[in-house]
Amino acid sequence: MAVTVKRNPGDIIFFSITAVAACTVIVFIIGILFVLLKESSLAIQKFGVIQFLTSTEWDPVKETFGALTSIYGTVVTTALSLLIAIPVALGIAIFITEVAPNFLRAPIGIAIELLAAIPSIIYGMWGLFTLSPIMGNTVEPFLKKATASIPLVSVLFQGTPMGIDVLTASVILSIMIIPFTASIARDAFNLTPAVVKESAYALGTTKWEVVKNIVIPYSKLGVFGGILFSLGRALGETMAVAFVLGNNHRIFTSLFDSAATITVTLANEFTEADKDIYLSSLFYLALVLFVMSFVFLAIAKFFLLRAERRYSR
């Protein structure tokens, strides 16, 4: 005999509200994608996909546009900023959770969270007026001199140090994403059971061995999630990078060269787009960034879920 269960009206209302809230995310994503496709249709028809993605020419006068230089600048600055930020952020998280005395942990944690709350335009102004002169007058000349005799590496530090270049932009980006990675890594480290660490100390292991063999392996998925979040922030950052990167549409080999990223190009040139094909190409560039972000985050999420399944087994 089938038993019918009457659903509580409150449960039905709660289910409906939460379902609508969840679906709005999908609606927003589809809406953004539709607008980008619609506005960039003219550029898609004229340049296609392969030509637009592989062309290095960005010439509004000739109405010829290619995205390769902006994609290249975006990928390089993002990768370099992560390379700088991840070791520093993990060091901060390890210090707060495992090394620092109790009276220091709260102030440092609050300082990290406040650093994350600073608007990006403030970072950009600080980078332009403070960090850029330091990089151009001190750090970059030192790097150029120190790497002059090292094959291949010296190529990265050729040219005239100006402080308005890829290296400075990457440093600014790294400073911006350090708080996010550090905060999430700290929370992940704190989830390590105290009894496991205490057992390891009882067996005579050092603090470094506990961190290396217990804390980091136990919390690696959370740390990877923090890095993933920082990747998304670095890909989409605009104002801070626009102040110190320049807007040079070419493939660079030296970190002392000015360059262009997708976000900087959109910010600098959107108001100057006086022709339909120019405006459509900028929307096409935004569509490329949208797809890039989705692909990078999807790949990272795939590896995260794969590692999570392996870890659960």
DSSP 133-193: HHIIIIIHHHHHHHTTTSTTGGGGG-S---S-SHHHHHHHHHHHHHHHHHHHHHHHHHTS-
CATH of the domain at 213: 1.10.3720.10
> What is the domain extent for residue 280?
70-312
Whether 34 is covered by a domain: the verdict is no
pLDDT digits (tens, 9 = 90+) for 171-211: 999 999 998 888 888 888 888 888 888 888 888 888 888 88
pLDDT in tens, 248-285: 888 888 899 988 899 888 888 888 888 889 999 999 99
Is residue 14 a part of any domain in this protein?
no
Provide the 3-class DSSP secondary structure of residue 49: coil
Domain assignment present for residue 53? The answer is no
30 lies in a domain?
no
Taking Cα atoms as reference points, which of 178, 176, 156 lies closest to residue 167?
156
CB 81, CB 234: distance < 8 Å = yes
The whole-model pTM stands at 0.85
Q: What angle separates helix 68-94 from helix 166-190, to the nearest 10 degrees?
A: 40
Is residue 20 in some structural domain?
no
Non-local CB neighbours of 238 within 8 Å, separated by 6+ positions: 120, 263, 264, 266, 267
Q: Is 94 helix (H, G, I), strand (E, B) or coil?
A: helix
Query: What is the count of structural domains for the chain?
Result: 1
Mean pLDDT for the stretch of residues 156-168: 88
What are the structure tokens assigned to 309, written together?
């399944």
Whether the CB-CB separation of 244 and 132 falls below 8 Å is answered with yes
Classify residue 207: in a domain, yes or no.
yes
pLDDT tens per residue across span 35-54: 999 999 999 998 888 899 99
Residue 94 sits at φ, ψ, to 5 deg, of -65, -40
* Side chain identity at residue 41, one-letter code: S
> Of 260, 234, 231, 262, which Cα lies nearest the Cα of 247?
260
Residue 193 falls inside a structural domain: yes
Residue type, 44: I
Query: Does 256 fall in a domain?
Result: yes
Q: What is the pLDDT of residues 62-95, one digit of tens each?
A: 888 989 999 999 999 999 999 999 999 999 999 9
